[in-house]
A and B are shown apart, each in its own frame.
Chain A
Amino acid sequence: MRSAYRILAIIIAVEVVIQAMAMVFAVAGLGIWVDEGGVLDKAAFESEDLSFTGVGGFIIHGINGMMIIPLLGLVLLVVSFFAKLPGGVKVAALVLGAIVVQVLLGVFGHESAYIGALHGLNAFILFGSAVYAARLARTAGVETPTTAVAA
């Protein structure tokens, strides 16, 4: 269970990195597309297949951020109940809390650019807490044999 905890925490941290990369990939591609004469307005943005290199970044960011990462955060919390890590549940809850805040900032970043800036800041809090969770599981030592019921 501890290694499950550790691996999940690492995956969440990596996912945060992927999220940052996907967004910059998309914004860079959008900038190049506009440079080359593409015109973006609400209608173009909402059209199904805007075609520029990087457009997939927006889609990846949305699916990862609103479905996959929240799901990983929930699983980490459930795993923490069985992992017998000192402080493990607390840190998993912290990770999940940071994810919830991140999703809300992401969704409501559409109404204020400053909320978007906080979304960027909170990404580091989320990344930091996920890395902390992974280290916690690692430093707690080798998993002792246990008769724990499988989750």
Chain B
Amino acid sequence: MTEYVKAHLRQIVAIAATLVIVVPLAWMWQASRMPGSYSVMDMGYVDAGGGPVSSTGHHGDHAGTISVSDLVEDTDRAADVVVELTANQGTVTLASGRKVEGYTFNGTSPGPTIEATEGDLLEVRVHNEDVDDGISVHWHGVDVPNAEDGVAGVTQDAIGVGEDHVYRFVVDDPGSYWYHSHQMSHEQVIRGLFGGLVVKPAEADSRADVLAVTHTYGGTRTLNGEEGDVAVDASPGQVARIRVVNTDNGAVRVWTDAPYQVLAVDGRDVNRPTEVVGRRVAVPAGGRYDLEVEAPARIEIGGSTAIVLGEDPGAVDQPGVDLDMLSYGQPATLPFDPTEPDRIFDYSMGRRPGFVDGKPGMWWSINGHLWPDVPMYLVDEGDVVLFRIENHSGEVHPMHLHGHHAVVVSRDGEPATGSPWWVDSVDVENDETVEIAFVADNPGIWMDHCHNLKHAAQGLVAHLMYSGVTVPYRLGGDSGNEPE
């Protein structure tokens, strides 16, 4: 035996060294492979953020639970606004005349703008005519009851070809929102399955209302499907509210020649906005900024498209500095105290080599873990929650929390000094830490993910889960539900 070992020592060492490299890799590869279908509740590990772990539905504890599908709007109340949306797949002709391969709602992309008034119960009947992968509709920025959130495999099953689904929810907060598919969203949104949603205030507003839904189709930026300058009739001196809705995967910059005010961010009014000069506004992916501008004016959106309000004053140079919302407007009393949170969560994004569902690569990590081994942030209803979102991944991430609006508390330790800055979509730059806080007041299971939807598809997705909520739906290839 020893003679044999001596004679073959070199080969034995070589084989051992190979195994030292190959076996851990093979094990990691095997461990990363996802089953044909799985429940979101079995994903990752519970992070209670320093709070109690009471009756969680995680990993099969079903004591005192409520199903996501029961978290609906008052079923006895009649709808105030009814909208029908039919989804199709194929060649899309944009308002500009350009033809692209993609998806439509009611034959157009963007789909029809849905308008409602504050307090209305909105009922949207969705029909999927021929989108093979199935669809769903998420109401981006509207804090709907969980069953209406439109996330395939988490809050509903994808709507298959020929199937229907009805969404019902009350729009309490006037502002600018949008809707988009949350099934195969990294594919369906960029290719057109979205539209604008405007909730008008109960009291009429004298300002002209201009919606500017910006989207990049095949590298060409559009506003409401149009290209270049989009003219809006306005007499000199007329004041307009420009609702910039960013449906892309990255931030878009907006600036104008005239002084302007930021009236609202993500459907929440800014407290006592002031006039802005020499600054541009950075609207994160998924975010909405409402600007007040007086005609005549030219509102540049991303540099290749513009809203021209009244007579065109001509091209405007782009300011080099973003308006900092951390110090914009006047402070106001918050409805809760973010300095005494019940739970503090870390959402630290990085990037490291590894396997995701068997695929090797440099993947996004959350708190050092790769998808699906990511935190399941657990809260109880009524908790004050502080999220410390850190980014060490080398790239900006536009973070979007479903079902809630959070107030930005600080950025890199610098406290917010302006108007309460409420967000549902916020850019966290590389090497930046943004703290946001909110009250857990909307039970369910809510995605908390990067709205650069390619990044979400690459695993930059976690969930916020309320104690006692269970999910009857499944995710994964065999389930037909792939929300990212």
Binding site for B on A (CB under 8 A): 37-39, 41-52, 66-67, 70-71, 74, 77-78, 81-82, 84, 103, 107-111, 148-149, 151
Contact = CB atoms under 8 A, between A and B. Distances in A.
Contact of B394 (A78, A84, A111): A111
Interface string B181-217: 0000001001100000000000000000000001011
Nearest to B431: A111
Nearest to B284: A42
A148 to B, nearest CB: 6
B248 interface: yes
22 contacts: A39-B221, A39-B304, A41-B252, A41-B303, A42-B250, A43-B221, A43-B250, A43-B252, A43-B285, A46-B249, A46-B454, A47-B216, A47-B217, A50-B219, A74-B21, A74-B25, A81-B14, A81-B15, A107-B362, A110-B394, A111-B430, A111-B431
Contacts of A110: 394-395, 430
B218 interface: yes
B219 A49 contact: yes
Nearest to B249: A46
B395 A149 contact: no
Main DSSP-derived SS at the B contact region: mixed
Given A51-B219, A66-B362, 12 more contacts: A43-B221, A43-B248, A43-B249, A43-B251, A43-B302, A46-B250, A49-B219, A78-B17, A78-B22, A82-B18, A110-B395, A111-B430
> Interface range on chain B: under 10, 10 to 19, 20 to 34, or 35 or more?
35 or more
Interface in B231-266: 246, 248-253
Nearest to A78: B18
B285 A46 contact: yes
The 4 closest A-B pairs by CB, nearest first: A42-B250, A46-B249, A43-B248, A81-B14
Contacts of A108: 394
A48 B103 CA distance: 14
Contacts, number: 102
B360 interface: yes
B452 interface: yes
Contacts of A71: 360
Contacts of A109: 394
A39 B302 contact: yes
Interface in B355-396: 360-362, 394-396
Given A50-B219, A77-B21, A110-B430, A70 B353 contact: yes
B248 A47 contact: yes
B303 A39 contact: yes
B11 interface: yes
A128 to B, nearest CB: 24
A45 B187 CA distance: 16
B91 to A, nearest CB: 15
Given A67-B361, A84-B10, A110-B395, A49 B251 contact: no
Contacts of A49: 218-219
Interface string B251-291: 11100000000000000000000000000000001000000
A66 B218 CA distance: 25
Nearest to B217: A47
B411 interface: no
Kindly name the residue among A38, A42, A49 whose own CB sees the greatest number of chain B CB atoms within 10 A: A42
